[in-house]
Amino acid sequence: MPVQKAVVVGAGIGGLTTAIGLRNAGVDVKVFERRTEPSRLLTGGGFMLWHNAFVALRRLSLDDRVAKVSSEILFHEFRSDRGRTLARWAIAPEAERIGAPAVALRRSDLNALLLEEAGDTVVMGAQCVGFEQDADGVTVRFADGSEERADVLIGADGMRSAVRSALRDGHDMAPRYAGYTAWQAIAELPGEDIVPSGTFFNLWGRGGLRFLYCRLNEREVYWDAITSDEASGAFDMFRKDKRQVMCETYAAWPDPIPRILAATRNDAILPIDIADRPPARERAWGHGRVVLIGDAAHPMTLNLSQGAGQAIEDGVVLSGLLAREADVPTAAAAFEKVRRERVDAMVRGAYRIGELGKWNGSLACGARDLFMRAFFGTFAKKGTYRLMMNFEY
């Protein structure tokens, strides 16, 4: 019979989306999160949600609510570190054609909305330490000695997932470090003349440097400085704080980048070493009554802005299958069959784009700029949209 009770480990975007979908289908679901306070989930900078995420959210009747806390992206503009436009994607016509927007928003705003919708299904301060499954169900164990019995366990607890580790008895390959760091922050910077609304700016530089930014609302700008190991190896982090290092590194980049960095508080900057897991068919996304989703199953680099979108898709697809299929193993197998090829392509594509950003020399970066001017406005956009919108539920 279809699943009656589910346990989700991890109250991130994917875990909460799955729980909401299951609850809406009449399944008894609990979400267990190791962090002790909801406020500790409401952190992080900004990010983009593309059209496909909104199509998925519509299945849960959440798309309009997410749009209200977001800023719609009308253009995606690629530039060089000398300010030259390399490509400009008009997003609004695609949004009209698809019937769903692309937006920028605070990660904390999305998490807060999903937490509110999930309601009392979320249990804070519960750290999963293992599980045992049998023909009738799965028993999840927690650090305080408590247990929870369910028909299915969904591991949505991130790249270094405790559920994934237990599923593989601790014998799993480490995540693949991509060779660069993303320094993320939100700056208080009012003024449409400084950063206009509606455009996501994506700058590619020499020396293994990139810089992304967009306006979130009338007061705030989200930015993301991406530095290769070769570049960040020269940073003096002993005598200077993060803000000083970023200001010096991007001092010669075109306006408004130096102004954005100058307006950013040092304690707002969060450096994240970027990693993924290369697709490998022998490492399934689950076994029996245990299923992995989101970063626990398929972490990807940030270069397609699809990490959150794919976690949302996972949640919608899996919750639907668990509510419809005759048994959990059948639903789990169907989930991976539907999702695997699409997500693997996302992981590979995002990794390849990140490799371009690590190029260093002027000659190589000049050739990259010529390539982007020739192909990013046409073939790259078509390929990205073909991949983005090639899904089924």
| Cα 376 from Cα 368, distance rounded (Å) | 11
Q: Count structural domains, the chain.
A: 1
> Is residue 219 one of the residues assigned to a domain?
no
Given a contact cutoff of 8 angstroms between Cβ atoms, the answer to whether 138 and 289 are in contact is yes
Whole-model pTM: value is 0.96
The reply to whether 301 falls in a domain is: yes
Q: What's the pLDDT at 247?
A: 98
Hunting for tokens 């589910």 — which residue is that? 6
Can you give the pLDDT at residue 378?
95
| Sheet bearing 176-188, strands edge to edge | 85-90, 75-80, 199-204, 209-215, 220-228, 176-188, 270-276
Measured distance CA(220)–CA(70) in Å, rounded:
12
3-class secondary structure, 32: strand
Minimal CA–CA distance to 168: which of 297, 279, 274, 275? Answer: 297
Predicted pLDDT at 172 = 83
Which residues in the chain land under pLDDT 50? none
Nearest-angstrom CA–CA distance, 154 and 68: 29
Residue 187 DSSP symbol: E
Show the tokens assigned to 388: 């983005």
| 245 inside domain | no
The CB density around residue 230, as the number of other CB atoms within 10 Å, is 14
Rounded distance, CA 291 to CA 315, Å? Answer: 11
> Which two tokens mark 31?
């979400």
Q: Is residue 261 part of a domain?
A: no
Q: Token match 């109250």: residue?
A: 11
Look at residue 340 in the predicted model and tell me its pLDDT.
Answer: 95
pLDDT for the residue 1: 63
Whether the bond into 101 is cis, omega within 30 of 0: no
Q: Does 182 fall in a domain?
A: no
Distance CA 379, CA 126 (A): 47
Distance, CA of 22 to CA of 5 (rounded, Å): 9
Does 185 fall in a domain?
A: no
What is the token pair recorded at 343? Answer: 């997500």
Residues 245-261: pLDDT tens digits?
Answer: 999 999 999 999 999 99
Neighbouring residues of 353: CB distance < 8 A, sequence distance ≥ 6: 301, 303, 304
Count of Cβ atoms closer than 10 Å to residue 113 Cβ? 18
What burial class does residue 50 get, using C-beta atoms within 10 Å of its C-beta: 0-12 exposed, 13-18 middle, 19+ buried? buried
pLDDT in tens, 265-289: 999 999 999 999 999 876 789 999 9
Query: Pairing relation of β-strands 220-228 and 209-215?
Result: antiparallel
Cα–Cα distance for residue pair 137/152, rounded to 1 Å: 7
Query: Does 215 fall in a domain?
Result: no
Domain holding 378: CATH number?
A: 3.50.50.60
Domain range for 362: 5-174+276-388
Name residue, tokens 């260093």: 360
In a domain? residue 160:
yes
